[in-house]
Amino acid sequence: MRPPTHILVVNGIKVRQPVFVLSAPHSGADLLARALKRSPGFHVTMGRPSVAHVVYAFARRPSIAGRGMGATRVLRDALAEAWQIVPGACLDCPAACREAGGVTGEGPCAAPGAVARFGDASPDLLYSASVLLQAFPDARFVQLIRDGRDVAADMLADPAALSWFKPVMLSDETEFPNPFLGVNSGEHRDRWKAMPTAGKCALRWRSAVRLSATLRQELPREQLLTLRYEDLVSSPAETVEGLSAFLETRVSKVALYGGSAPKVGAWRTRLRGQDAELVEKVAREELSRLGYQ
């Protein structure tokens, strides 16, 4: 049973139907966040320190997220802090968030009187989805799916993503199963540590899309929309039209044009042969189920 609805007020604005963007790493959450941030009435944050700290705590230790209303309050308070619209607030935002919002100075990126809808597209927010639903029972979730081979190619070129694959990340204190790294049992710890990095990238993607599939089964259609990165890039107008209908508000299409979004299918030239084979071996079932041949 869901907890009673808690009405959060930020800057004098009631938080109604907040929008949360969920995805595996490098699956287009930043691209979609850009469109939302530049849409009238939206105030969307990405990776604010108060939220990132909580999100990664939940991701690495899933038992924390299962501690009832305590976890719910912590995440709700973190988002309330992130959504504050005050002078200098954007200085704490990551470069990607500032760029997506078109912020060049101290900001803020939104004006309180113009905000009607809040949202967040922080990296790895997917692992907090159940807590977000408890915190905001009327929330709207948009999840993005992308070809795992393209995801692996981008992760291999991203030092921040690779930092999660250090052996110390699976210590004796690590909880299993560990959806964040895609490792199901402590018995697999040594195998994971010895696995080439491309395989670890595939495990992260595989685990993330499995969580996405679970959400599709658990959440009603009016609360969850699943988009493909490939459609977002190749048919932005049609994709945004569907997104606008789902959110019942206009979402900007302009932000999706003329950008530097990674090309679809670039893994064919970016992944070494042995890396491509390993990614396809690890994620074969999910790649097939999602139609990535």
The pLDDT, as a whole number, for residue 197 is: 97
**154 vs 170, more confident:** 154
Please name the CATH architecture into which domain 8-146+221-261 falls. 3-Layer(aba) Sandwich (3.40)
Render pLDDT for 187-221 as a digit per residue (tens, 0 to 9).
Answer: 999 999 999 999 999 999 999 999 999 999 999 99
The pLDDT, as a whole number, for residue 266 is: 95
Q: Look up tokens 């108060």; give the residue.
A: 50
**246 vs 257, more confident:** 246
**206 vs 61, more confident:** 206
89-102: average pLDDT: 78
> Among the listed ranges 8-17, 54-63, 99-108, 153-162, which one has the minimum average pLDDT value?
99-108
- Which pLDDT band holds residue 1 (cuts at 50, 70, 90)? very low
The pLDDT, as a whole number, for residue 255 is: 76
103-119: average pLDDT: 80
**186 vs 110, more confident:** 186
**257 vs 20, more confident:** 20
HSE toward the beta carbon, residue 220, CA cutoff 13 A: 5
A 10 A CB-CB count for 5 gives 9
Q: Is residue 272 pLDDT above 80, yes or no?
A: yes
CB distance 241 to 127 below 8 Å: no
CB distance 146 to 27 below 8 Å: yes
47-56: average pLDDT: 93
- Which residues make beta-bridge pairs with 45? 120
Nearest alpha-carbon partner for 27 in 218, 161, 190: 161
Write down the domain spans for the chain.
8-146+221-261, 147-219+263-293
